[in-house]
Amino acid sequence: MMGMDDIARRGLVLFGCGHMGSAMLKGWLARGLAPQAITVIDHNPSDWLQAQEVRLNGALPEDPAAVVIAVKPQGMFDSLPAIARYGAAEGAGRSLVITVAAGIPLVAYERALGAETPLVRAMPNMPSSIGRGVTAIIGNAATDAAGLGMAEALLAAVGAVVRLEDESQMDAVTAVSGSGPAYVFHLIDTLAAAGEAEGLSRDLALQLALGTVAGAGELAQRADESPAELRAGVASPGGTTEAALRVLMDDEGGLGPVMKRAVAAAARRSRELADG
C-alpha cells in the first residue's frame, strides 16, 4: 500500500500503546511490517507489548517516516516535548505526524510542532480493537496526497478509513462513529430487556439481541440494498414488524428524533471539549 515501503525503510514511532495503540500495532505486525522498523514509547508496557520484538523505549530514530500519537488526550501535551524533534519548528518536519487523540484540533499540534509539519488527525472507534473499526482522517495544509495515503495505509490495519473534506466535520464523526458503538451496545441491552419483559429469560433475550444486531449489521454491509430497503423487506404489511416500526418511526417520540438529539448532544460536547 501507498507509503508502506517508506515506513519499512525509515521506520515509524508509536507514542502510547494502550487499547488503540495495541490494536494498531497488532494490525501492522499482522500485515508484515517488521517489528524492528517500529519504535514504541510506552511508560507502562503490557506483558503483550514486552513480548513483541519492537524497539521498546529505546533511542528515537532520527528520521522516521511516521510518528503516531496514541496517548490519551489528557496526556498528549506531556508527550509533545519528545515529539517536537520531528516537527518543522525544530528544523525537521519530514516525518508525518498522525494523532488519534480525541478532541484536540490540528492547530494545537501546529502551535507545538510548527505549521509546516505534515499532520493527520484521525478518529478511530472502539471496534478497531478487533480490526472492524472505522476511522475518519483529515490532514493539515502541509500534508500532501502521499502523506494522506500513508496515514490511510497505517490506519487501515484496524478497519475502514474515510477521508473528511474539512476538520469541522470531525465533531459529527465523533458523535456518529466515535461514540456510536455505545449507542449500539445500549440498543442491544434495551432490546434484550424488552424481550425479557415479554417473558424470555435474560440469557436467551440477550443471545437473541446480540445475534440479531450482529447479523443485521453484517447484512447491511454486504447487501446492495440500502438500510431503508432492507427494513422494508422485513416489514410485511399488517405484520408484527410493521406494528413495531410504527412505534420506532413515530415523528415525535420515535427512534429518529431521539437519535438526532443524541448525536447533536455528542457533537455539541465535542465542540466544547475542543474549545477547552
- pLDDT of 31 > 80? The answer is yes
Q: Dihedrals φ, ψ of 133, to 5°?
A: -80, 180
**How high does pLDDT run on average in the chain?**
93
Shared-domain flag, residues 145 and 194: no
Sheet holding 66-69, edge to edge: 55-56, 38-41, 12-15, 66-69, 96-99, 119-123, 133-139, 159-163
Shared-domain flag, residues 153 and 78: yes
Shared-domain flag, residues 158 and 265: no
Shared-domain flag, residues 12 and 127: yes
Q: What CATH number is given to the structural domain containing 247?
A: 1.10.3730.10
- pLDDT of 250 > 90? The answer is yes
pLDDT in tens, 71-107: 987 777 777 888 888 888 777 778 999 999 888 899 9
pTM above 0.85, yes or no: yes
Shared-domain flag, residues 106 and 191: no
Q: What CATH number is given to the structural domain containing 13?
A: 3.40.50.720
**Amino acid found at 83:** I
**118 within 8 A of 92, measured Cβ to Cβ:** no
CA angle 23, 27, 28 (to 5 degrees): 120
Shared-domain flag, residues 167 and 191: no
Shared-domain flag, residues 102 and 229: no
pLDDT at 172: 96
Length of the chain: 276
Q: What cell was used for 185?
A: 451496545
**What percent of the chain has a predicted confidence (pLDDT) above 70?**
99
| 73 is known to lie in a ligand binding site | yes
Report, as an integer, the average pLDDT of 252-266: 96
Residue ending a domain, among 142, 171, 200, is: 171
Contacts (Cβ under 8 Å, ≥6 apart) of 201? none
> Which ranges of the chain does DSSP label H, i.e. alpha helix?
4-10, 19-30, 47-51, 73-83, 106-113, 145-155, 170-173, 180-197, 202-222, 227-234, 240-248, 255-274
Report, as an integer, the average pLDDT of 198-223: 97
Calculate the alpha carbon distances from 260 to 11, 180, 222, 256, 266 in Å: 43, 12, 26, 6, 10
Residue ending a domain, among 171, 188, 207, is: 171
The model's confidence at residue 276, banded by pLDDT at 50, 70 and 90, is: low
Residue ending a domain, among 171, 203, 236, is: 171
Q: Which H/E stretch holds residue 127?
A: none
For CA atoms 185, 190, 193, 194, give the dihedral sign.
negative
Q: How many CB atoms lie within 10 A of CB 171?
A: 21
pLDDT at 1: 47
Shared-domain flag, residues 151 and 258: no
Shared-domain flag, residues 144 and 248: no
Give CB contacts under 8 A, 24+ apart, made by 265-269. Answer: 265/175, 266/174, 266/175, 266/179, 267/171, 267/172, 267/174, 267/175, 268/171
| 136 is known to lie in a ligand binding site | no
| 72 is known to lie in a ligand binding site | yes
| 57 is known to lie in a ligand binding site | yes
Please count the structural domains in the chain.
2
| 260 is known to lie in a ligand binding site | no
Shared-domain flag, residues 75 and 193: no
Can you give the residue range of the structural domain that contains 245?
180-274
CA distance 165 to 30: 30
pLDDT in tens, 131-154: 999 999 999 999 999 999 999 999
Shared-domain flag, residues 98 and 234: no
pLDDT in tens, 101-119: 888 899 999 998 999 999 9
pLDDT in tens, 163-195: 999 999 999 999 999 999 999 999 999 999 999
Shared-domain flag, residues 119 and 20: yes
CA distance 142 to 29: 28
- pLDDT of 53 > 80? The answer is yes
